[in-house]
Every structure is written in structure tokens, then in C-alpha cells.
Amino acid sequence: MDGFAVRHDASSGPLPIVGESRAGRPSPVSVGPGEAIRISTGAPVPAGADAVARVEDTAESDGRVELTAAVAAGQNVRAAGEDLRAGERVLEAGTRLGAAELAVAVGAGAGAVVCARRPRVAILCTGDELREPGAPLGPGEIHNSNAVMLAALARREGAELVADERVADERDATEAAFAAALDDADLVIASGGVSVGPHDHVKPALTALGVEERFWRVSLQPGKPTWFGTRGERLVLGLPGNPVSSYVTFLLFARPALRALQGASAPLPPREEAVLTTALPRRGREQVVRVRLATAPGADGRPHATATPTGPQGSHITRSLLGADGLAFVAIGDGEVAAGESIPVERI
């Protein structure tokens, strides 16, 4: 603290001020018996001193200072090694670097750290009906909200966006777009076109480009048509075109993939238990319900996490995403999960 560096057994009488220790400019002289050195916050404690008297606990006059309050050894002094110690590991491999981690790294003396590079992502939204955000719409046309949504999700996970294109429902155009994306991206994300309709050209185009199908269709609502394949180290993820399905499957499949590409030690987000506030029916597929998470007292009087559905959960209802900060997982079965029961959730 701002004040005077002294010996804790200094007398209460006036002490001559024999020097000054400033932040970045240590005192070249020591504190002897019955002496004081003026000190600023953040300055090294001079040799010989073991306490700092706050300036508000002193009275200064004519080059001398008198202590108006007693000081104890170590008072107002931060000891070396309180924060970081030599040889101590402060960041593990696979740690995501945020503001706090960067501060600790610099404090430990690192001028540079070795990081995984940002994964390159290409987003291809298929459909003749898609139009740019804000563009006038003709009959049967919709705005391409998936492109904006998926790009924002990818950037939030640290990805570098190398392509963001609308692809017409034509076989040649689809194959050409994916060929270019596979040349540039670590992860290619397709939105739509992975089902079995006559204008769904994504899967045959990827087969022609040498992408090996790893799985297609998952027992999930929303998200059943999800497709995944690889070509060498390139990853290709086909997401359903319905916006909520696309959002949910990005979080469940693309998010951990992007984290793994960046060396995350635990790419899968942890799941926790939350108490449902509203009953939910079980179905023939596992359901992923958008919920608001909160904390409320349980029957035992202790605080518990609660999960409240955000409203209608149709895969086309983008408003169900508003305010959602968690995904709740309803297992396959009959009947319902009653209000008050615990359910696994994953934070968004």
C-alpha cells in the first residue's frame, strides 16, 4: 500500500525518511533500525523492512514520519510466490485461453504460448428457396437464417469462417460447391439437402467427391437426418434444414468437433441434472428440449437447478431458441417426465 516501509518493531517516535521505493524503481538503500522508506503500491519492499504503515496511519513532517497505529510483521506486504511459484504448472494442455488464462500465462513469464490454430469452417446452405437476409421474398421463398446462425455459432467456438454460401438444388452446383469447400476447410457444414427427396443432392455429391459416410440419421428429435462423413482429415457434417434442428445438431456434433480440433482436453460439454418445472412427454426418439435454467429451493430446502421449456418445441419454431441457455434430454419411452423429476441438461 501507499505508505512507509518500516520494521514492525519501529518506535512510535518520528522516523527519518531515508529513501523511496516506487513501482518499477526499488529503493537502493535498506531500512535500518528507527528508519522509514516511503513506498508506493506495487513497489518492492526494501531490504530490512518487514511491514508497511499505511499513509493514513502516519503523520509526516520535516522529513520524518510518525506512526499513529502499530504495525505487525507482514502487514500490508504481499509475499513473493503467493500467486505463482517457480516450477509450478499453471495451465494444462487443452485449456481454452480466455482473458484470465492469458493474464496467468503472462504473469508466469510467458511471452508466447503454443496454441492449436483456429479450425477452418465452410458453411453451405442448400435450397432454391433461400434468399439473403432482408431481401424481398417471392412465393415460397424464405430468408437464409441458418447461414447467419451457424456462422455465429462457429465463430463462438473459435472457428475461422472460410466460406458461407447458398447452394442451388442442382447436382452439378452442389458437387462444385462441396469440392471447393473440401479444399479449404477442416470442417464442412451443410445445412439441408441430406434427406431423401428428389432435390436432395448433398449425399450423392459427397460420395462422388470421395467422402466416406460414417453415419446417417440419429435417434434424435429434432435432428434425425443428421449426416457425418470424412475424407482424410476433412470432416463433413450434414445438418437438417429446419433451423432449430440445425441449431441443436450444431451444438451436439459440430461444437465438440471444433473443440477437439483445437486440442480441448474435454471437447464434450458436461451434463448436469436439473429439475423440470413442466411435464414433458416421452417419444420414440430421444428429445432435445430448449430450456431456461435457473436455481430454486428444492424439497430439501437446498438450491437446485431447474429447467423450464421455452415454449412450443417444433423444429421450425426459432423463437424456442430465444432465452434458452440449456438443452434438456428426454429419454426414449412411454408416458412423460413429470414436473419435479430430474433430467440431464447441457448448457448452451
The tens digit of pLDDT for each residue in 53-67 reads: 999 999 999 999 999
Domains of the chain, CATH where assigned: 3-67 (2.170.190.11), 120-261 (3.40.980.10), 271-347 (2.40.340.10)
Contacts of 28 (CB under 8 A, 6+ apart): 19
* pLDDT, position 10: 81
Per-residue pLDDT reduced to its tens digit, 222-270:
999 999 999 999 999 999 999 999 999 999 999 999 999 999 989 999 9
Contacts of 330 (CB under 8 A, 6+ apart): 280, 281, 282, 283, 286, 287, 288, 289, 337, 343
pTM: 0.82
| Prior bond of 14 cis (ω within 30°) | no
Name residue 41's amino acid: T
> How deeply is 72 buried, as exposed, middle or buried, from its count of CB atoms within 10 A (0-12, 13-18, 19+)?
exposed
Q: Which helix (H) or strand (E) holds 222?
A: none
Give the CA dihedral 61, 65, 67, 73, nearest 10 degrees.
170
CB count within 10 Å of CB 315 equals 19
Do you know the residue count of the chain?
A: 348
* pLDDT, position 265: 87
Q: Mind listing the pLDDT tens digit of every residue in the chain (348 residues)?
A: 999 999 998 877 899 999 999 999 999 999 999 999 999 999 999 999 999 999 999 999 999 999 999 999 999 999 988 999 999 999 999 898 999 999 999 999 999 999 999 999 999 999 999 999 999 999 999 999 999 999 999 999 999 999 999 999 999 999 999 999 999 999 999 998 877 677 788 999 999 999 999 999 999 999 999 999 999 999 999 999 999 999 999 999 999 999 999 999 899 999 999 999 999 999 999 999 999 999 988 777 788 899 999 999 988 899 999 999 999 999 999 999 999 999 999 999
Q: Which helix (H) or strand (E) holds 153?
A: helix 145-156
DSSP type of residue 310: -
* Strand bridging mode 130-131 / 142-143: parallel
CB count within 10 Å of CB 149 equals 20
The answer to whether 142 and 130 have CB atoms below 8 angstroms apart is yes
Cell of 214: 460414417
Handedness of CA 149, 152, 157, 161 (dihedral sign): positive
* pLDDT, position 252: 98
CB count within 10 Å of CB 336 equals 14
Residue carrying C-alpha cell 446462425: 149
* pLDDT, position 41: 95
CA distance 334 to 191: 31
Beta strands in 79-159 (DSSP E): 120-126, 130-131, 142-143
* pLDDT, position 195: 72
